[in-house]
Structure 1
Amino acid sequence: MDGTTVSEEGAASGMGGAMRMSRRVMNLAHFLTQNARRHSERTGFVWGDRSWTWREIDAGVSQLAAALAARGIVKGDRILVHSKNCDEMFWSMFAAFRLGAVWVPTNFRLMPDEVAYLATASGAKAFLCHSDFPEHAAAVKAASPALGFTWRIADGSLGEKSVSEAIAAHAGARVDNAGVEYDDPCWFFFTSGTTGRSKAAVLTHGQMAFVVTNHLADLMPGTTEHDASLVVAPLSHGAGIHQLVQSARGAKTILLPSERFDVNEAFRLIETHRVSNLFTVPTILKLMVENPAIDHYDHSSLRYVIYAGAPMYREDQKAALKKLGHVLVQYFGLGEVTGNITVLPPALHHPEDGPQTRIGTCGFERTGMQVSIQDDQGRELKPFETGEICVIGPAVFAGYFDNPEANAKAFRDGWFRTGDLGHMDKEGFVYITGRASDMYISGGSNIYPREVEEKILTHPAIGEVAVLGVPDPVWGEVGVAVCVPREGASPVTELELAGYLATKMPRYKMPKRFFFWEALPKSGYGKIPKRLVRDELEARGLLDLTTKQTG
């Protein structure tokens, strides 16, 4: 970030130019130190048929930190990690923290050239790469001549050595947690890159300590070492944040045995380990709820099923509540705010529509955070007026690494601009209308795909849908809806669906065309990016058909 974080600049200006006082904070790796003391022989991590106690985890992290230090890694250096979920990936996070280095995880589903870009963009000094990705290792090495070394995760042949060999070579080593200050970076959280290149959001030790505390207060209160959490998403992003929170309380983390999401296996693990919480996205939760396995295993131990990353459609909410009970927790929060904008707790997830049900809300402000709905000039709007959702508070990141242009666009008068559109009611509940980039204008009227999608999903034959705007010579833009039929439902035609919706929405909001696909394209995080849907429409040659009426 040009050597200075946003928060450092603010601190300096706030003290009239006086020298900034040191703000020493806890190193996040101290969570392991605490667990090794208090819960030494309690299981902290399970993967397949293997398990590790907190003492073993803490020791392994120290040995890995010692090995990295022996190869020259020091405080502030970036460690790029490209791996499927596994034990050594989890260790690498805490090893980086312990040294005061920066953990830079990637989504393992990225292509080699994308990971190579992340290596150069982050200025990585070391690369820990899963052995299943030799092309990625080669691409990173070619793109980053200054890269110090590459070690492999799991069995294989790439790199200098394996992480397990590095750990074994430093058996018995003990590395103390490096001293860190509030603004010292600990994690480069790469955005999913919905537009253009991914950007590295700088997360710091002080910020993340607040995030952990906030998650425990607002998302899963009462979590202790007696709890257990199942991981169903890549640890590189939101699931990694969630597991850091579990570690803060000494709760056990259970990984799926492979990167393939198996609903039956997920429910088996929930029953076996008496899993009490999990973090996921609406599309994955929908798969779990609609799978027969949900009726074959005991999931009564679940207390918090937390979903984020995208709003959950009302019909899917009701189905999940019917099957799982009052355990749903929704939060809204970008990587840049580390999941800390709003929360909708279990008590406000109503199974039936009624006067007490706020349909479409993502909840109210998180503890210690403030939300403002603003117009293009930064003026706060009145209740129910649609604008950009902006946020301030200790969970907001320090800015994008080495990207002053992106920082200038992301912040206005101290507020972080999420790029999401929405409104707030008189009681402070926030409603997301959609991404600013998703909104389209048809005949001079703003159309927000989210509300159209909600209406379409009330049809019993539709399981998933994506609505987006496409160019039109008459109206400027018109909407198209790409629908996925619900499994086992009777098929519905384009004209039948349009007729069904005719009484549910104004004519100007009605999509011009309805397409029916077997599946919608999804990102590596289980989301449905509109850009991927648009690309698929173009690849199928459907964009030039959108203005033609169907017979």
Structure 2
Amino acid sequence: MELFWVRGGADEVVASVADWLSADPAPPAVVETSGSTGAPKRVVLPRAAVLASVRASAERLGATGPWVLALPATFVAGLQVVVRSLVAGHRPTLLERDGWPEGEGWFVSLVPTQLRRMLTDPVDVAALRRAHTVLLGGGPIGASLRESAERAGVHVVATYGSAETAGGCVYDGVPLDGVAVALGEGGRIRIAGPTLFTGYDGDPTATAEVLRDGWFQTSDAGRIDADGRLEVIGRVDDVIVSGGLNVPGPAVAERLRTHPGLAAAEVLGVPDPEWGRRVVAFVVPAPPGPAPGLEELRDWVGATEPRAWAPRSLVVLDDIPLLGNGKPDRQALLALAGQQVRP
């Protein structure tokens, strides 16, 4: 089967995507997952699925227009920025080369780490205030980050999705039109609708494991709140079973990020002979530093969350290692846990 491989630099991707959008017929596109928890998968997306996502997104946002490309164009979020901008009749602005556009009413997609850093830069904040919408996805979006954006006057819409769903398909907890969301065993999120992929290239076994009867079985756990909105708790494997207790790593990390002495924080579980898995905090001190000590951070977590959730080890870093798409590099963090842990 002929495939359209989304590869190359930003300019090359923009040109090839423009050709793909006008092709008749068009082969399915292939984008790779980030590989944050292992080897990347090659996701096969029909053009109809990508365009269904583009249309539903525009309808939900209530507008179309030019987009700023601030993410790698070869990942699904970057591909969607390119497609949305081209469909709206605009070549996307490449942030790294061209900087922020003048005027108002444009759109941009970011991951939480990017937005957190941009909110500390007055130039970035001034630009983001001019955006119609900042789509924020690709990782847990805590209340503190949303509140910081609101205080700065930046309009943020939190998205949830993956390469397998042609990008974000749930906006601020509400599925896009045509998208269905359900919870399976253990709260595992299931998604159906016109934006789904057709499989993993060259891996029918992996495809069969997650694509069943028209539903995509995600690796994330969630719950439906009182308003009927989907709340993403985190990856199923983000729940750290430590000493027989289920510790939600993303919730602990979000609490740590509110500490005034920290600029960034992530939480993972590492193997431990006593606890099964030990809760480890990876933190970046806020200037001028140094980082708070472990006991202070344990007390900070315990002030609002169960004390048993508090980290038992601490790794202090100059920065959180990131993948090419801006997400935390979990494998790199786990490797660092074996070298720099402060019990």
Q: TM-score, normalised by structure 2?
A: 0.91
**CA offsets per residue over residues 9-60 of structure 1, 9 Å max, x none?**
xxxxxxxxxxxxxxxxxxxxxxxxxxxxxxxxxxxxxxxxxxxxxxxxxxxx
Q: Which letter maps to 1:459?
A: H
Kept after mapping to 1: 8 A contact 2:103/2:130 = no
1:521 corresponds, among 310, 321, 326, to 321
Distance 2:340 2:121 in 1: 33
For residue 29 of structure 2, what is the aligned residue in structure 1? 187
1:293 corresponds, among 120, 123, 147, to 123
**CA offsets per residue over residues 234-255 of structure 1, 9 Å max, x none?**
1112122122012212135211
1:253 corresponds, among 77, 84, 92, to 92
Distance 2:94 2:124 in 1: 19
**CA offsets per residue over residues 243-272 of structure 1, 9 Å max, x none?**
2012212135211354xxxxxx74xx33x3
- C-alpha change, 1:475 and 1:422, in structure 2 (3 Å) is same
Q: Which letter maps to 2:49?
A: Q
Give the number of the structure with larger relative contact order, counting CA–CA contacts within 8 Å between residues 6 or more apart: 2
SS of the residue 2:152 aligns to: helix
For residue 89 of structure 1, what is the aligned residue in structure 2? 13
Distance 2:282 2:129 in 1: 36
Q: Which letter maps to 1:335?
A: A
For residue 391 of structure 1, what is the aligned residue in structure 2? 191
SS of the residue 1:90 aligns to: helix
Q: How well do the aligned residues superpose, as a CA RMSD in angstroms?
A: 2.2
Kept after mapping to 1: 8 A contact 2:243/2:276 = yes
Map 1:434-453; keep pairs closer than 5 Å: 434-453=234-253
SS of the residue 1:389 aligns to: strand
**CA offsets per residue over residues 58-82 of structure 1, 9 Å max, x none?**
xxxxxxxxxxxxxxxxxx5345564
Map 1:94-105; keep pairs closer than 5 Å: 94-98=18-22
Is residue 281 of structure 2 the alignment partner of residue 481 of structure 1?
yes
For residue 140 of structure 2, what is the aligned residue in structure 1? 311
For residue 429 of structure 1, what is the aligned residue in structure 2? 229
Kept after mapping to 2: 8 A contact 1:457/1:465 = yes
Q: Which letter maps to 1:241?
A: Q
1:178 corresponds, among 13, 21, 24, to 24
Larger strand fraction of residues? 2
For residue 82 of structure 2, what is the aligned residue in structure 1? 243
Distance 1:208 1:89 in 2: 15
Kept after mapping to 1: 8 A contact 2:66/2:88 = no
- What is the CA-CA distance between 1:507 and the residue it aligns to? 2.4
Distance 2:244 2:325 in 1: 34
Distance 1:311 1:328 in 2: 14
**CA offsets per residue over residues 523-551 of structure 1, 9 Å max, x none?**
0011013222102223x253xx6xx4xxx
Q: Which letter maps to 2:92?
A: T
- Aligned sequence identity (%): 26
- What is the CA-CA distance between 1:481 and the residue it aligns to? 0.5
Kept after mapping to 1: 8 A contact 2:10/2:72 = yes
Q: Which letter maps to 2:57?
A: H
For residue 292 of structure 2, what is the aligned residue in structure 1? 492
**CA offsets per residue over residues 186-214 of structure 1, 9 Å max, x none?**
31011112343322111112222211111
Kept after mapping to 1: 8 A contact 2:68/2:92 = yes
- C-alpha change, 1:334 and 1:275, in structure 2 (3 Å) is same
Map 1:358-373; keep pairs closer than 5 Å: 363-373=173-183
Q: Which letter maps to 1:85?
A: A
For residue 202 of structure 1, what is the aligned residue in structure 2? 44
Distance 1:468 1:320 in 2: 26
**CA offsets per residue over residues 153-189 of structure 1, 9 Å max, x none?**
xxxxxxxxxxxxxxxxxxxxxxxx4235xxxx43101
Distance 2:223 2:85 in 1: 32
- What is the CA-CA distance between 1:299 and the residue it aligns to? 5.1
**Gap regions ≥5 residues in structure 1:** 1-75, 99-176, 259-264, 345-362, 376-385
SS of the residue 1:522 aligns to: coil
Alignment coverage as a number of residue pairs: 342
Distance 2:135 2:15 in 1: 24
Map 1:30-429; keep pairs closer than 5 Å: 76-78=1-3, 80=5, 82-86=7-11, 88-98=12-22, 177-179=23-25, 185-218=27-60, 220-223=61-64, 227-237=65-75, 238-256=77-95, 258=97, 266=99, 269-270=100-101, 272-274=102-104, 276-294=106-124, 297=126, 300-325=129-154, 327-344=155-172, 363-375=173-185, 387-429=187-229
Q: Which letter maps to 1:494?
A: L
SS of the residue 2:51 aligns to: helix
SS of the residue 2:63 aligns to: coil
Q: Which letter maps to 2:181?
A: V
Q: Which letter maps to 1:288?
A: M
SS of the residue 2:171 aligns to: strand
Distance 2:112 2:38 in 1: 25
Distance 1:448 1:438 in 2: 6
Distance 1:81 1:491 in 2: 41
**CA offsets per residue over residues 456-511 of structure 1, 9 Å max, x none?**
12211112111111222222222010111123467422222222233222222111
- C-alpha change, 1:537 and 1:309, in structure 2 (3 Å) is same
